[in-house]
């Protein structure tokens, strides 16, 4: 399948799902998906390898972030894996300044090639997100928002980032139906005292009665 055919299939899938993606974004989404799926044959980067599953999960999750990001925000995709949601955000919102990072070097190298093949100018770092956050805690390169999807339970995320919560603006975390149980477990472990956790949005998980949610985590107001 060439990129033009894939763009058409993605547009049709987004239409069936009611996803509002501008026509000019479709060729870039198709180029990204084609490169991602090609690399996926060598590395396990994604399970969403059809236009329908890519639209229903990767595009839908990325779109859920869009209305909660201000113009020109500097965004870090934590543990990007196959480049989602960061690379898709860069396509849907070219005004954003998006960086991707993954602590697994071979995944970071693959994603760097994927975004290059897709024609995106998105920096990719083979580094733990915590290191980047600390290195950019001050000055114009400070991250406004960390976006997180399918990286770790809330307990781990808070252990990693709550101590650094003054070094970046906030986190936007995509979670599944167990998010409340994860939040309770994190509280039980004594976490979440310095930050607030607020649900911003939810949307259905295709093929189930469950939903995905978008959580905002940021330093508590003094």
Range of the domain at 129: 53-219
Question: Within a domain: residue 122?
Answer: yes
Render each residue's pLDDT in the chain as its tens digit; 222 residues.
566 789 999 999 999 999 999 999 999 999 999 999 999 998 889 999 999 999 999 999 999 999 999 999 999 999 999 999 999 999 999 999 999 999 999 999 999 999 999 999 999 999 999 999 999 999 999 999 999 998 999 999 999 999 999 999 999 999 998 999 999 999 999 999 999 999 999 998 877 788 999 999 999 876
Question: Within a domain: residue 44?
Answer: no
Question: Within a domain: residue 90?
Answer: yes
- How many angstroms separate the Cα of 44 from the Cα of each of 6, 116, 121, 199? 21, 19, 23, 30
d(Cα 218, Cα 192) in Å, to the nearest integer? 10
Per-residue tokens: 158: 């808070």
Q: Reduce the DSSP state of residue 70 to 3 states and report it.
A: coil
Question: Within a domain: residue 19?
Answer: no
Instruction: Check if the beta carbon of residue 136 is closer than 8 Å to that of residue 112.
Output: no
Question: Within a domain: residue 40?
Answer: no
pTM beyond 0.75: yes
Per-residue tokens: 95: 């005004």
12-47: b (≥16 Cβ within 10 Å) or e: ebbeebebebeeebbbbbbbbbbbbbebbeeeebbe
Question: Within a domain: residue 1?
Answer: no
Question: Within a domain: residue 146?
Answer: yes
CATH number for 114: 3.40.50.150
Domain count of the fold of the chain? 1
Question: Within a domain: residue 81?
Answer: yes
Phi, psi for residue 130 in degrees, rounded to 5: -60, -40
């Amino acid at each position: 399948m060439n990129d033009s055919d894939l763009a058409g299939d993605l547009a049709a899938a987004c239409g069936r799902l009611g996803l509002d993606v501008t026509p000019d974004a479709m060729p870039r989404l198709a180029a990204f998906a084609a490169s991602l799926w090609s690399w996926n044959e060598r590395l396990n980067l994604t399970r969403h390898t059809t236009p329908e599953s890519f639209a229903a999960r990767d595009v839908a999750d990325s779109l859920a972030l869009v209305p909660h990001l201000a113009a020109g925000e500097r965004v870090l995709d934590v543990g990007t894996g196959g480049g989602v949601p960061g690379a898709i955000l860069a396509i849907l919102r070219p005004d954003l300044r998006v960086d991707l990072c993954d602590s697994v070097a071979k995944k970071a190298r693959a994603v760097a090639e994927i975004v290059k093949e897709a024609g995106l100018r998105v920096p990719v770092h083979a580094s733990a997100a915590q290191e980047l956050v600390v290195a950019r805690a001050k000055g114009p390169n400070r991250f406004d928002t960390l976006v997180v999807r399918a990286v770790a339970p809330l307990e781990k995320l808070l252990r990693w980032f709550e101590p650094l919560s003054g070094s970046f603006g906030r986190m936007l975390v995509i979670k599944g139906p167990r998010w409340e149980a994860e939040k309770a477990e994190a509280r039980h472990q004594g976490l979440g005292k310095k930050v607030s956790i607020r649900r911003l949005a939810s949307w259905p998980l295709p093929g189930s009665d469950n939903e995905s949610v978008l959580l905002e985590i940021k330093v508590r107001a003094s």
